[in-house]
A and B are shown apart, each in its own frame.
Chain A
Amino acid sequence: MKWTEGIDKLGLGLYFLLCIFAIANIYSVDQKLGEKQLVFFCISLVVGLVIFVGRSKFFENMAGIIYIGGVLLLIGLFPFGKEILGQKNWYKFGSFTMQPVEFAKIGTALMLANYVSSPDFNLKNKKSLWTALAIIGIPAAVVLAIPDVGSMLVFIAFFIALYREGLSGLLFGIGFIFAGVFLISLAVPPVYFAVAVLVIAGVLIAMNYHRMSWDVISISGIAGSVLLLCGLAFGSPYILEKLPKHQRERIEVLYKGEKAFRDTSGYNLLYSKTAIGSGGLWGKGYREGSVTQGKFVPEQETDYIFCTVGEEWGFLGSAILILCYMVYIGRIYYLAEKQKSTFNRVFGYCFASILLMHFSINLGMVMGLFPTVGIPLPYFSYGGSSLLAFSMMTFIFFKLNYSDKNSLV
């Protein structure tokens, strides 16, 4: 058996492809930053190599320490953090800055995998469930307190991993329904919405009529959820009112149009759409994007890097990029599912779900499908911490996968 056999060539190949394409695009936005990103990439490869030649059991054994370290780093932000762009989530050592939240995600993933793989773990057991929730909740709460809403949302990823391990899907269902109702009822008058809820409820009841037991609990449950949904529909404008102004605008801009907030949230969205939309089918050509070159989109090298792809590589280039991400994330889910050890599988699910959350939120935001939330596109956005953290997770996972393939168990 050759030593290279356990290396997943598709996964790692896509990793290299994404990183190098990213550097090319960052270079198009700003040459200096592109060069710096190349340096970060080299550092990431060195770290990756170290991880690869190291012991695979190291991460399982050290999960607790890495987790605690990550949480401490997050807490340390309160006294020592540096405020950049209104968020106090950076450490600064001389000219070197670091975003600990990226690393905290690794710790959380390792810790969660470690805990779930422990022999006495059982999700039916309340103690197990609460412990798992605590592992996710502690760093998430700290991140929310910073406040960094975007990164907090990424912690939802861990629930996807738990879902795979048997957590009820109802939680997601309810969450999605509430978020959906909240957003839709902002755009649609609540009265119409309430009517729609009643009609859907009626149809659902009619369809399941013979299966239903007409006891007090189920009737009150149905009535209660219908009331709750209608209440939320009427209440959502008031909830929106209570949000801070910039967050409220980021939601409103999605259905009121960019023009209404031309000088604030609308500007970013308008110009990110302008950059992407002006790319057409073939794109304007590498380093030829007039919106990119004119630096019309703020933060284009970080959160809005996809605009450059859209403008300069057109529909074909950006659609292929989206497909690459889909194949890559799907590959990780697939590999994770095939792992023999629970630790490996849970870590793999955490990793793929973190990627999925970042990918969905970032692209949704850039294309105006999701409120503006500042989180990077994995491997693609400029930034050393982000690239290094994602690379570390990548190499840890592929190392685990490698040793899993080569293990005889």
Chain B
Amino acid sequence: MNTRYLKIFSILVTIALIFVARLAYLQLFTDRYALNAANTSIKTEYVIPQRGVIFDRNGKIMVGNQPAYEISFTQALMKPDFDTLAFCSLMKITKQDFINRINVIKKEKYYSKLTPMTFIKDLSREDIARVQEIIFKYPAFNIVSRPQRQYEVSTSGNLLGYTSEVNERDIKKDSTYYLPGDFIGKTGVEKSYEKELRGVKGVKYIQKDIRLRNIGSYKNGALDKDVITGKDITLTIDYDLQRTAEEMLVNKHGAIVALDPNNGEVLVSATGPDIDPNLFTGPNKSKNLYALSKDTLYENKPTFDRALQAGYPPGSTFKLLTALAAMQMGVMDEKTIFPCGGGFFYKGKRIKGHGGADPLIPSIQVSSNCFFTYAFIAIIKKYPGNPSKGVDEWKKIMSSFGVGEFLNNDFAVGARGRIPSGDFYERRFKAIMKASGSQRTDFKNWDEMSTGAIYNGMGQGDVLVTPIQLANYVAAIANRGWYYTPHIVKAIDGKPNPDPRFKVKHKTLVDPKHFEPVLKGMEAVVLRGTARGLKSNDFTQLAKTGTAQVPQGKDNSIFVLIAPAEKPKIVVVAVMEHAGFGATWAGPACTVIAEKYITGDLKRENLYKKMITSSFMPEYKRQWIADLKRKGLYVDPKPDSIKQKRIKDSLELVKQEKAKLQKKIEEAKKNNTAKKTVKQ
């Protein structure tokens, strides 16, 4: 046989093997081309689901949806004969604006010739109606519908929260779901219930041809996914009450929180100043958000949810917990009398306040500073020579009331507050000793006086509590020793909130028997004590006033209330910054809320009127200016020259007129005397 025949044959086999190897590389060992095919020949279209509706507990819609439109732009579909001027006049933009927008799009991180990019956002229905008929002439531009939030209420912006386009961090967190341009809940309920509210995007795979025309669904839609609308959420909030609370917080810094102590449902979570959630929609959205975040004038800070985030000294309302802890720790009982005849004198320190040598109940009634300071000293001194041990035992009891810890609930924000530990005072004592040049090395047996620990008993020292924590511990007192974690969502899609965290009955470390005298004391507060002005003929109340001294200025007004006394249905707490006495400002707000909730009516309208018409803004302004002056930043406002001139001019005019009038009178007088003389 001819050997050349074999050579030719082997070349044939070699070529075939090379091709098979190349084929294997292209099809099996690299996914570059598979990805390119998926990116260009199959277009993934997403159907954006409607976000779930947010209702209040009575079924009132608080947040719904409205259609919103945007125009998208796909570079690859741009035709060379595109009539820019006609398009600009259709969209009512200038040519320069058009060019700028296209340039911005091309610089975007995710820009690609084939991806539709947002060209104009937030078009109104009228705009769309105008554009709809004509836009087919411009295949590179498309109308995209993206439902937007519509707020049916004009308050509670912090509570409800807002949605906004995802940023890179959001996408990284859940990269399987979010795509650039998607919306995500950024604050409030929108954030904490994002997964339930957002629903599931629908996906359609559409085959595209080389001109990017649709040529049918890919694999006959076998891979497509249906859109699932977001779940509706029913809040525990009673918007009627919430709204009343918000009205009473107008022109005030502070918070009102109301709970149902029987199940931990938050009925009211109001913060002042409040935000109108309608600022979160519409074309000025980002401007509004920026303005809100930068509003620090007079310490307004509207985005700071004071009900959840602000740690306040609880003042005298904390005496309730001091009493409970002291009884539980066995350092006092309800009959204990501390040496308070004529006020508090201790290690050379005097604390002013009411009081006499009384047992617990009357001491709560009059809010005796002396009694509870002694009670706390007893706590500190439970283990002689080891104050830290006593304080830590107290801290543990406080924690069982949810104070000094995150509540671990379904609010988007929260704060820990502060309950100091024994270690805290050891460190402080060490610092004080060092500063004073003392040679002392034993810091274990710290001094309760110089460290300021004694003030904790009356809620002043180093204790900080957020309003929601305050409401929670009052609820635990109302329940005589247990509470459900306060939460804001009652039902999801009509079914009770399945979150197991809200089904656990948290027991406090205080024996139920110790609550009786405390509750009796709270009853006395309303009947004969510091809050006797807030008595109601329609329902019984248990309360405690608080007036916390704060360094910046006037005292914070604090009030806690349980009603009705026999079978508590509601717990209301209020904190008003720099307002003054607890019973004067926070008290009326609480009792109005309780009345409205229990009787369904507003009977003592004078209290409500007083609340909504009062403003503490002048005090905040004074503090703001004082603070600026302290920092040396204050500049006296320049007198308004135009106004000044106007005033000057009008004064001049008055002078001139007066002079004229004077002249006339004098002339008249002269004439008169002249006539008289003539007559005579």
B5 cross-chain contacts in A, Cβ below 8 A: 164, 333, 337
Would A280 and B34 count as touching, CB distance under 8 A? yes
Would A290 and B218 count as touching, CB distance under 8 A? yes
A106 to chain B, nearest CB (A): 21
B215 cross-chain contacts in A, Cβ below 8 A: 293-294
| A314, B208: Cα distance in complex, Å | 21
A396 within 8 A of B: no
Would A326 and B33 count as touching, CB distance under 8 A? no
A389 cross-chain contacts in B, Cβ below 8 A: none
The stretch from B37-45, B173-181, B231-239, B627-635 touching chain A is B37-45
The stretch from B19-27, B359-367, B567-575, B576-584 touching chain A is B19-27
A400 within 8 A of B: no
Q: Mark A297-341, 1 if CB is under 8 A from B, else 0.
A: 000000000000011001100110011011001100110010000
A175 to chain B, nearest CB (A): 13
| A270, B210: Cα distance in complex, Å | 13
Would B219 and A294 count as touching, CB distance under 8 A? no
B41 cross-chain contacts in A, Cβ below 8 A: 290-291, 293-294, 296
Question: Chain A CB within 10 Å — which of B32, B34, B37 has the most?
Answer: B37
Take A290-B207, A294-B208, A329-B12 as given contacts and tell me if A278 and B23 are in contact as well, using a CB distance cutoff of 8 Å.
no
With beta carbons under 8 angstroms apart, the residue of A160, A291, A359 that contacts B37 is: A291
A273 cross-chain contacts in B, Cβ below 8 A: 26, 33
What is the size category of the interface that chain A forms with chain B?
A: 35 or more
Would B20 and A319 count as touching, CB distance under 8 A? yes
| A53, B16: Cα distance in complex, Å | 34
Question: Chain B CB within 10 Å — which of A163, A288, A322, A364 has the most?
Answer: A322
Take A280-B34, A295-B209 as given contacts and tell me if A356 and B12 are in contact as well, using a CB distance cutoff of 8 Å.
yes
With beta carbons under 8 angstroms apart, the residue of B2, B23, B36, B40 that contacts A367 is: B23
A293 cross-chain contacts in B, Cβ below 8 A: 41, 207, 209, 215
B427 to chain A, nearest CB (A): 63
What is the size category of the interface that chain B forms with chain A?
A: 35 or more
Q: Mark B208-238, 1 if CB is under 8 A from A, else 0.
A: 1110000100110000000000000000000
| A273, B9: Cα distance in complex, Å | 28
Would B9 and A276 count as touching, CB distance under 8 A? no
| A293, B41: Cα distance in complex, Å | 9
Question: Chain B CB within 10 Å — which of A276, A294, A325, A369 has the most?
Answer: A294
Would A322 and B20 count as touching, CB distance under 8 A? yes
Would A281 and B4 count as touching, CB distance under 8 A? no
Would A314 and B219 count as touching, CB distance under 8 A? no
Task: State the majority secondary structure of interface residues on A.
Answer: helix
In this complex, what residue of B is CB-closest to A355? Answer: B12
B38 to chain A, nearest CB (A): 7
Take A163-B4, A291-B37, A294-B209 as given contacts and tell me if A276 and B26 are in contact as well, using a CB distance cutoff of 8 Å.
yes
In this complex, what residue of A is CB-closest to B40? Answer: A296
Q: Mark B36-70, 1 if CB is under 8 A from A, else 0.
A: 11101110000000000000000000000000000
In this complex, what residue of A is CB-closest to B219? Answer: A288
With beta carbons under 8 angstroms apart, the residue of A164, A280, A311, A334 that contacts B4 is: A164
A360 within 8 A of B: yes
Would B33 and A278 count as touching, CB distance under 8 A? yes
A32 to chain B, nearest CB (A): 16
Task: State the majority secondary structure of interface residues on B.
Answer: helix
In this complex, what residue of B is CB-closest to A318? Answer: B23
| A290, B40: Cα distance in complex, Å | 9
| A273, B218: Cα distance in complex, Å | 21
Would B15 and A276 count as touching, CB distance under 8 A? no
Take A281-B28, A290-B218, A293-B215 as given contacts and tell me if A363 and B8 are in contact as well, using a CB distance cutoff of 8 Å.
no
Would B33 and A164 count as touching, CB distance under 8 A? no
Take A290-B207, A369-B18 as given contacts and tell me if A322 and B12 are in contact as well, using a CB distance cutoff of 8 Å.
no
B291 within 8 A of A: no
Would A296 and B4 count as touching, CB distance under 8 A? no
A131 within 8 A of B: no
Would B37 and A278 count as touching, CB distance under 8 A? yes
A279 within 8 A of B: yes
B34 cross-chain contacts in A, Cβ below 8 A: 277-278, 280
B653 within 8 A of A: no
- CB-contacts of A240-294 with B (<8 A): 270, 273-281, 288, 290-291, 293-294
- CB-contacts of A353-401 with B (<8 A): 353, 356, 359-360, 363-364, 367-369
B86 cross-chain contacts in A, Cβ below 8 A: none
Would A280 and B26 count as touching, CB distance under 8 A? no
B659 within 8 A of A: no
| A274, B38: Cα distance in complex, Å | 9
Would B1 and A337 count as touching, CB distance under 8 A? yes
Would B16 and A310 count as touching, CB distance under 8 A? no
B30 within 8 A of A: yes
B661 within 8 A of A: no
A367 cross-chain contacts in B, Cβ below 8 A: 19, 22-23, 26
Take A294-B208, A333-B9 as given contacts and tell me if A278 and B36 are in contact as well, using a CB distance cutoff of 8 Å.
yes
Q: Mark B421-440, 1 if CB is under 8 A from A, else 0.
A: 00000000000000000000
A70 to chain B, nearest CB (A): 25
Would B8 and A160 count as touching, CB distance under 8 A? yes
B211 to chain A, nearest CB (A): 9
In this complex, what residue of B is CB-closest to A280? Answer: B27
Would B9 and A277 count as touching, CB distance under 8 A? no
Would B12 and A276 count as touching, CB distance under 8 A? no
Would B26 and A277 count as touching, CB distance under 8 A? yes
In this complex, what residue of B is CB-closest to A270? Answer: B36
B13 within 8 A of A: yes
| A45, B215: Cα distance in complex, Å | 36
| A334, B1: Cα distance in complex, Å | 11
A278 cross-chain contacts in B, Cβ below 8 A: 33-34, 36-38
B2 cross-chain contacts in A, Cβ below 8 A: 164, 337
In this complex, what residue of A is CB-closest to B212? Answer: A294
B26 to chain A, nearest CB (A): 4
| A318, B28: Cα distance in complex, Å | 12
B31 cross-chain contacts in A, Cβ below 8 A: 277
A315 cross-chain contacts in B, Cβ below 8 A: 23-24, 27-28
Would A294 and B210 count as touching, CB distance under 8 A? yes
Would B219 and A326 count as touching, CB distance under 8 A? no
B41 to chain A, nearest CB (A): 4
Question: Chain B CB within 10 Å — which of A278, A314, A333 has the most?
Answer: A278
In this complex, what residue of B is CB-closest to A167? Answer: B4
In this complex, what residue of B is CB-closest to A349? Answer: B8
A323 cross-chain contacts in B, Cβ below 8 A: 16, 20
Take A277-B33, A280-B34, A296-B41 as given contacts and tell me if A333 and B12 are in contact as well, using a CB distance cutoff of 8 Å.
yes
Q: 6 pairs across A/B with beta carbons < 8 Å?
A: A288-B219, A296-B41, A319-B23, A323-B16, A333-B9, A369-B22
User: 7 closest pairs, A vs B, by CB?
Assistant: A277-B33, A278-B37, A326-B16, A290-B41, A294-B209, A277-B26, A278-B34
Which A residues have a C-beta under 8 Å from some C-beta of B? 160, 163-164, 169, 270, 273-281, 288, 290-291, 293-296, 310-311, 314-315, 318-319, 322-323, 325-326, 329-330, 333-334, 337, 353, 356, 359-360, 363-364, 367-369
Which B residues have a C-beta under 8 Å from some C-beta of A? 1-2, 4-5, 7-9, 12-13, 15-16, 18-20, 22-24, 26-28, 30-34, 36-38, 40-42, 207-210, 215, 218-219
Extra A-B contacts (19), CB below 8 Å, given A164-B8, A281-B28, A319-B20: A163-B8, A164-B2, A275-B33, A276-B33, A277-B36, A278-B36, A278-B37, A288-B219, A291-B37, A294-B41, A294-B210, A310-B27, A311-B37, A326-B13, A334-B9, A337-B2, A360-B15, A367-B19, A369-B22
